[in-house]
Structure 1
Amino acid sequence: MLDDRDRKLLTLLQKNADMPIGEMADLVSLSSSACWRRIKRLTDEGFILSRVAVLDRGKMNVPLTIYVLIRTSDHSTGWTDRFRDAVAEIPEISEAFRLTGNIDYLLKVVLPDVAHWDMIYQKLVRRLNFSDVSSYIAMEEMKNTGFVPTSYI
């Protein structure tokens, strides 16, 4: 079970994983060594999966976000495995979800422009059969924190 200090450390790390240990320790009222041990424990216990750098998508020339809704009539394990493999091999697909309801899969694709979406689409349809593929261009990013709430544990 996590305590308030653990939750606060997780929140601080989500905001800036490069924050110096001493600064984090001060913010959670711990010594630097006690703070480091807690972060190590949180990592060892799997609460912290990795530390990553968040890149500026504009500077990386992938400002466009397209959400893709996919329906398939084939729900076999073999089809799903081929779909997972295809998604894993396309770096422009930054997120992929299997859904309940009328839509089977949701993809988040980040690209330089719409023309690149057709290349990704062609890669997918060459490998798999779909009942329907619908794409939606995001006009404005209103919120994108990547944060996970820490208050439920």
Structure 2
Amino acid sequence: MLDLDLIDRKIVAELMRDASMPISQIAEKVGLSQTPCWKRIQKLETNGVLTGRVAMANPAHLGFDTIVFIEIEAPDHSAEWREQFGRVVQTMPEIMEAHRMAGEMDYLLRVAVPNMAAFDSFYKRLTEALPIKSVTSHFSLERIRFTTAYPVDTRHR
């Protein structure tokens, strides 16, 4: 972890809140002029703190009305299976997130599909692509809170 100063943390927080904000606005909010602010943003990108800038979209407006959290239990814990799983996950655009977990399940996926028929098709492709010991699916009924912004401390230290 990099030791970010207060201004860097404020820049990161502002960009996570709205990456389309002009440099002049970010600079004003963090107490810098534009050039030093831009240089700090470039350094944060170079150091891997900022990994990209994207637009967030409403999944329902794009036809992705079904969000599914899938627990996967691996048949074994070999390097070969993990590598195969990683390759399969990369080829399935419905998978929004994939996490290797500690605890009762081995992997947790967040999947976005238009409807139950699309989920069934996804499920078949996933289970045909590699051996899986067990799959448990949980369907989201309502998204109550969603953010991509980490709770960065922007107070003085």
- Normalising by structure 2, we get a TM-score of 0.92
What does 1:73-92 correspond to in 2, within 5 Å?
Answer: 73-92=75-94
* Percent identity between the two aligned chains: 35
**Partner residue in 1 for 2:98:** 96
How many residues in Structure 1 have an aligned counterpart in Structure 2? Answer: 153
Deviation at 1:52, TM superposition (A): 1.1
What is the identity, as a one-letter code, of the residue corresponding to 1:103?
A: M
Give 2:46's match in structure 1, choosing from 44, 47, 50.
44
Separation in structure 1 between the aligned mates of residue 4 and residue 79 of structure 2, nearest angstrom: 37
> CA-to-partner distance for each residue in 1:68-108, whole Å, 9 max, x for gaps?
01112221111111111111101001001111111111110
Q: What SS does the corresponding residue of 2:61 show, helix, strand or coil?
A: coil
**Partner residue in 2 for 1:31:** 33
What does 1:1-153 correspond to in 2, within 5 Å?
Answer: 1-151=3-153
Q: What SS does the corresponding residue of 1:38 show, helix, strand or coil?
A: helix
Deviation at 1:54, TM superposition (A): 1.2
In the alignment, structure 1 segments of 5+ residues that lack a partner are none
- Judge which range, 69-78 or 5-14, deviates more: 69-78
Cα RMSD (Å) of the superposition?
Answer: 1.6
Q: What SS does the corresponding residue of 1:136 show, helix, strand or coil?
A: strand
Separation in structure 1 between the aligned mates of residue 71 and residue 4 of structure 2, nearest angstrom: 37
Deviation at 1:28, TM superposition (A): 1.1
Separation in structure 2 between the aligned mates of residue 8 and residue 95 of structure 1, nearest angstrom: 26
- Normalising by structure 1, we get a TM-score of 0.94
Deviation at 1:42, TM superposition (A): 1.1
Separation in structure 1 between the aligned mates of residue 30 and residue 22 of structure 2, nearest angstrom: 13
Separation in structure 2 between the aligned mates of residue 26 and residue 101 of structure 1, nearest angstrom: 45
